Amino acid sequence: MSKYDTYFQMAVGDVVDFTLKKTKDYIDWDIETMEAIVPPEHGNLNHVYRVLDGKGNSIFIKQASRTLRISEDMTATLDRNRLESELLIIQDKYVPGMVPKIYFYDTVMSASGMEDCTDYTVMRNAMLAHEIFPHFADDISTFMVNTLLMTSDVVMNHVEKKKRIKEFINPDLCDITEKLVLMEPYMDLYDRNNVYPPNADFVQKELYNDEALHLEVAKLKFNFMTNAQALIHGDLHTGSIFISQNNTKVFDPEFGTFAPMGYDTGNVIANLVFAYGNGLVYDKKDFCQWVLDTIRDTLDLFIEKFTLLYEQEATEPMAKIDGFKEWYLNSILDDTAGYAGTELHRRTVGMANVTDLTTIEDEEKRSLAERICIYLGKELILNQANYRTGDDYVRAVYESEKKAKASL
Amino acid sequence: MSKYDTYFQMAVGDVVDFTLKKTKDYIDWDIETMEAIVPPEHGNLNHVYRVLDGKGNSIFIKQASRTLRISEDMTATLDRNRLESELLIIQDKYVPGMVPKIYFYDTVMSASGMEDCTDYTVMRNAMLAHEIFPHFADDISTFMVNTLLMTSDVVMNHVEKKKRIKEFINPDLCDITEKLVLMEPYMDLYDRNNVYPPNADFVQKELYNDEALHLEVAKLKFNFMTNAQALIHGDLHTGSIFISQNNTKVFDPEFGTFAPMGYDTGNVIANLVFAYGNGLVYDKKDFCQWVLDTIRDTLDLFIEKFTLLYEQEATEPMAKIDGFKEWYLNSILDDTAGYAGTELHRRTVGMANVTDLTTIEDEEKRSLAERICIYLGKELILNQANYRTGDDYVRAVYESEKKAKASL
């Protein structure tokens, strides 16, 4: 019997021993100087440790806990750690080096050993400091096109894909998305939204009382629940992205499942808009321009690379019929706008807000940044078919800004 | 070690012993007079035996074989028998008595023991004899509404539904549908379509050369592959229905999986049209009128009962938003028309034809019946949004009949 034959929640003191046991065959640890620390950045769902030694070896250990750090009321299967590790291994095949390397995962302890990416910054934090990353649009569009299109029925063998769907059915995490993203921002059903009090009436009017908006969100919710289009990351926000001046690594795919591609693309765009709102109220003009360029380029490069890869890799005969690619891409672009909208709303008024907005101390400025997100989200959800190019988004950001200013 | 600890394909001589072993605790067999026979009706995928005794006990034994009876080239996992038995048990909960009772299923032997329904007729055969079943529209609409709506996200708990999706992922059988139904009738990709030679040019022109049609079929194919809407039967044709003057029992759900509801509803309508074509060329006016009434009533009763059950049973808060039910039902009606169209085509020109058409000996009459199905299928696929009531279908049958007559 080993200490690790039954799951227990490790304390920091257990982690060195566990790491050594799991990795001693391929990492040449200096045992004397090995230590485990809790890094300042934590996810909402897991316990994360950094293990390092005096020789420069280091690794991250991520263990799923039985209750979610975000809320003790919510539980998620420990299996999410297995799922995340397997997903990172698959993604690494389609976008080599663009996700952290997985050293191991231990199904009993629900813990994985993962590449230490502390020389990168979490993108949301870097953008809070108004840093600029000119390569990001190029990187993230490659990441999305390759991971999404290659796992869709356009390319993947259908029998193989159905086996993958089975492997990545993710009921607990999908339940969180279905409630926190695709319902509660519009009806606060469980009384756990975090609405900024100065915007309470605005939220009531624009989100809670708009039945036409609710109908479109309901369609997006059902689309998310039923459309097993591709293996998505499922939580592709700037807090799930490590970035440096040269590279981008996407992590934390524990919400990964087969779902609409537009959920990922929409999340990226929405989270860039939060950064824009922050930059705007702190009057960071260059930063704001870079964010808008990045929104535009991310979408345009996604379309360009998607079209190219589709032509190169499509295996499904019916996907090669004239007009199908365009129809398929347009449905992804509809979804992109729709889910960008729901992400804009849920991160502004839902349970899990973003620091891009919550760290704005001035009341009027925070109200303004939030209203831009709320107006833009509504516009995107209600007029999905109008969003076909990057410029369409940039224009809509400016218009929402104008509307938000006028509303204050 | 029992004889049945490892899978083998049973011969008729093994079946009595196997049946006794599995059912002796709850069926009081008269062992002396027990015998197993191969019934005249066989499915395409399984070996079926009827076991009976002199006291009136009887049961059906269905064993999955490694190769499909329809073609030695095609294989399907033996697991399909487990899936079918579990599905019948679930359906029996939603429509008690409308599916054959399952006595047992044996995962090792991939064999199930099922209620003997030999006092019923297979509906396709009864319709070949132009028999009329006035209760059918009422029964089948109840069957579809209850099995489909209750297993959709409108009603079923989403976490529970995702576990069910996992259980009913059906890669091998879906692969058959995706190829035989949703591709080959339009491009004969594997050179195994069965096209009636006098209609060869017609099929070339109307099905193989129509790119606009192919595009719509491609969308239907992707919808089938990705849209896990509800737990469908998956092969709901008149050969999968036992009928009597009083009752209806649906069997053979081995293609069951989570897929668009309209696949089931469309199949029922298409298979009624085959019966209509047969009745027409044999000049059976009362029968034809009953078939058309049944098409109309099946659709109208489906809509009526669906609406009622939705209002009673919907649990999903977003499904209760004004306008959502109508939007959701319309998408099912679109799919109904689309998949009725693909079924009309594949059963006329694909690998698995229907006896309703193939038994018509007169060349011109068979050509006519087939062309009605081909024209109607195209109309339904290309104009899905026009099919909202039963009368829309009846009108389209008449119009296709006119067009088919003019084309000969």
The tens digit of pLDDT for each residue in B259-308 reads 999 999 999 999 999 999 999 999 999 999 999 999 999 999 999 999 99
Average pLDDT over residues B186-210: 98
Contact, A18 vs A61, CB < 8 A? yes
Residue with structure tokens 């909960």? B93
Q: Find residue B231's DSSP bridge partners.
A: B258
The closest CB to that of B169, out of A166, A174, A322, belongs to A166
CB B103, CB B114: distance < 8 Å = yes
Whole-angstrom distance, CA of residue A227 vs CA of residue B57: 46
Q: Which amino acid is at A348?
A: T
* B 151-170 near A (Cβ less than 8 A): 153, 158-159, 161-163, 165-166, 169-170
Q: Do A227 and B222 touch (CB under 8 A)?
A: no
Q: How far apart are CA B137 and CA A374, in angstroms?
A: 49
CA dihedral A355, A358, A364, A368 (to 10 degrees): 50
What are B169's two structure tokens? 């992922």
- Looking at the complex, does the CB of residue B232 fall below 8 Å from at least one CB of chain A? no
DSSP B122: E
Query: Which chain A residues are closer than 8 Å to B159 by Cβ?
Result: 171-172, 175
Per the CB < 8 Å rule, is A178 touching B169? no
Instruction: Tell me the H-state helices in A196-353.
Output: 200-203, 211-226, 261-281, 285-313, 324-349
Among B76, B104, B77, smallest CA distance to B88 is for B104
Subunit contact B165:A162, Cβ cutoff 8 A: no
Interchain contact, A317 vs B211, CB within 8 Å: no
- Contacts of the segment A92-95: beta carbons below 8 A, 24+ positions apart: A94/A146, A94/A147, A94/A150, A94/A151, A95/A142, A95/A143, A95/A146, A95/A147
CB atoms within 10 A of CB B298: 23
Nearest residue to B351 (alpha-carbon basis) of B176, B197, B224: B176
Q: Are B226 and A227 in contact (CB < 8 Å)?
A: yes
Provide the mean pLDDT of chain B: 94
Give pLDDT tens digits along chain A (408 positions). Answer: 678 999 898 988 899 999 999 999 999 999 999 999 998 766 667 889 999 999 999 999 999 877 655 555 555 566 777 888 999 999 999 999 999 999 999 988 989 999 999 889 999 999 999 999 999 999 999 999 999 999 999 999 999 999 999 999 999 899 999 999 999 999 999 999 999 999 999 999 999 999 999 999 999 999 999 999 999 999 999 999 999 999 999 999 989 999 999 999 999 999 999 999 999 999 999 999 999 999 999 999 999 999 999 999 999 999 999 999 999 999 999 999 999 999 999 999 999 999 999 999 999 999 999 999 999 999 999 999 999 999 999 999 999 999 999 999
Per the rule left: phi > 0, alpha: psi between -120 and 50, beta: everything else, B71 is beta
Closest approach of chain B CAs to the CA of A97, in angstroms? 29
| Bridge partners (DSSP) listed for residue B112 | B62, B105
The yes-or-no verdict on residue B69 having pLDDT over 70 is no
Q: Sign of the CA dihedral A197, A200, A203, A209?
A: positive
In angstroms and rounded to an integer, the radius of gyration of the C-alpha atoms of chain A is 21
Tell me if chain B has a CB within 8 Å of the CB of A11: no
Average pLDDT of the residues in B314-330? 98
Residue B40 makes CB contacts below 8 A (sequence gap 6+) with: none
Is A101 buried (19+), middle (13-18) or exposed (0-12) by CB count in 10 A?
A: middle
Query: A352 in contact with B at a CB cutoff of 8 Å?
Result: no
Residue B234 parent element (H or E): none
A218 and B CB contact within 8 Å: yes
Q: What is the C-alpha radius of gyration for chain B, rounded to an integer number of angstroms? A: 21
Provide the token pair at B166.
């996992």
- Interface test mutation site (partner A, options B172, B175, B226, max chain A beta carbons within 10 A): B226
Provide φ and ψ at B273, rounded to 5°.
Answer: -65, -40
Q: How far is B220 from chain A (nearest CA, A)?
A: 10
What is the share, in percent, of chain B residues with pLDDT greater than 70?
A: 96
Q: Which of chain B's residues have a Cβ under 8 Å away from the Cβ of A225?
A: 153, 158, 161
Structural domains for chain B: 12-114 (3.30.200.20), 121-407 (3.90.1200.10)
Closest chain A residue to the Cα of B174, Cα to Cα: A159
Nearest to A215 among B178, B183, B322 (CB): B322
Residues of B in contact with A211 (CB under 8 A): 321-322
pLDDT, tens digit (0-9, with 9 covering 90-100), for B102-147: 999 998 898 999 999 988 999 999 999 999 999 999 999 999 999 9
Count CA within 13 A, CB hemisphere, residue A182.
26
Tokens of B21: 């072993």
Report the pLDDT value the prediction gives residue B220, as an integer from 0 to 100.
98
Q: What is the mean pLDDT of residues B336-345?
A: 98
Question: For the packed helices A261-281 and A363-382, what is the interaxial angle rounded to 10 degrees?
Answer: 150
Query: Among B380, B285, B281, which residue's Cα sits nearest to residue B338?
Result: B380
In total, chain A counts a number of residues equal to 408
Interface of A with B in 289-318 (CB under 8 A): 317-318
Given a cut of 60, whether residue B72 has pLDDT beyond it is: no
The answer to whether residue B64 scores a pLDDT higher than 90 is: no
The reply to whether A327 touches chain B by the CB within 8 Å rule is yes
Residue A76 near residue A45, CB atoms below 8 Å: yes
Instruction: Report the pLDDT value the prediction gives residue A64, as an integer from 0 to 100.
Output: 84
Residue whose tokens read 């989403």: B158
Angstrom distance (rounded) from CA A63 to CA A10: 8
pLDDT at A77: 64
Of A153, A214, A222, the CB nearest to B225: A153
Quote the pLDDT of residue A189. Answer: 95
Distance CA B154, CA A188 (A): 20
pLDDT of residue A1: 62
Please name the helix (run of DSSP H) or strand (run of DSSP E) that holds residue B102, with its range, or none: strand B102-106
How high is the pLDDT of residue A2? 79
DSSP designation for B238? G
- A93-122 residues touching B, CB cutoff 8 A: none
Burial class (CB in 10 A: 0-12, 13-18, 19+), A65: middle
Hey, what's the torsion of the CAs at A14, A16, A18, A19, to 10 degrees?
150
B321 CA: distance to closest CA in chain A (Å): 6
- A178 contacts B171? CB cut-off 8 A: no
Do the Cβ atoms of B158 and A169 come within 8 Å?
A: no
Interface test with B, best of A157, A225, A231, A381 (most B CBs within 10 A): A225
A59 three-state secondary structure: strand
Mutate to test the interface with A, among B222, B258, B327, B382 (most CBs of A within 10 A): B222
Question: DSSP label at B152?
Answer: S
Judged by CB atoms closer than 8 Å, whether chains meet at A162 and B153 is answered as no
Q: Which chain B residues are Cβ-neighbours of A228 within 8 angstroms?
A: 226-228
Q: Residue B65: what pLDDT?
A: 78
Which positions ≥6 away from A118 have C-beta within 8 Å?
A39, A50, A58
Contacts of B243 (CB under 8 A, 6+ apart): B120, B121, B122, B123, B126, B133, B136, B249
Say how many CA atoms lie within 13 Å of A9 toward its Cβ: 10
Contacts of B161 in chain A (CB under 8 A): 225
* Cβ-count burial B306-326 (b if 16+ within 10 Å, e if not): beebbeeebebbbbebeebbe
And the tokens for B353?
A: 């034809």
B219 with A327: Cβ contact below 8 A = yes
Does the interface ipTM go beyond 0.90?
yes
> Which of B189, B215, B323 has the CB atom closest to A322's CB atom?
B215
Q: Assign residue B310 a region (left: φ > 0; alpha: ψ between -120 and 50; beta: otherwise).
A: alpha
- Burial string for B361-384 (b: 16+ CB within 10 Å, else e) reads eeeebbbbbbbbbbbbbbbbbbbb
Which stretch of DSSP H or E encloses residue B367? helix B363-382
pLDDT above 90 (res B213): yes
Tell me the pLDDT band of B41, cut-offs 50, 70 and 90. Answer: low
